[in-house]
Amino acid sequence: MQVQFSADEKILNENLSMQHRQHIFLIFKEAVNNAVKYSEGKTVTVFLGRENSHIRLSVKDDGMGFNSARVTSSSGLKNMQARAKELNGTLHIRSEAGSGTEVELICTAT
């Protein structure tokens, strides 16, 4: 699988607590792991940047996608949601069968 990674230069200067960094990293790790293991895609695109007073992380694949309304037992997805809540952020999972998946985290930069 090919990876396209881009990070906004502004994000490199952020002073984040270790807990904040850990939650963001573990969401990133789970999203990439899911893309590699389950998507059957050829490319995963990662963006990490700052937009106004928020951090935005997006992990998007071009794989087969899934019906997110039918997923009920995935602890990985639940863990990502719980971590986003700890960050006072939101986690959006957009996926449809046949059109890939995007996991997007938006949280405060504090």
State the CATH number of the domain containing residue 30: 3.30.565.10
How many angstroms separate the CA atoms of 68 and 9, rounded? 33
Q: pLDDT tens string for the chain (110 positions)? A: 999 999 988 787 778 899 999 999 999 999 999 999 999 999 999 999 998 889 999 999 999 998 766 655 678 889 999 999 999 999 999 998 888 999 999 998 87
φ, ψ dihedrals at 18, nearest 5° = -60, -40
- What pLDDT does residue 92 have? 96
How many domains does the chain contain in total? Answer: 1
Query: Tokens 């990293």 identify what position?
Result: 25
Please tell me the distance from the alpha carbon of residue 5 to that of residue 49, in angstroms, as a whole number: 11
Report residue 3 as tokens. 């990876």
pLDDT of residue 12: 75
Query: What tens digit of pLDDT does each residue of 20-40 get?
Result: 999 999 999 999 999 999 999
Report pLDDT for 68.
67
Structural domain harbouring 34? 2-108
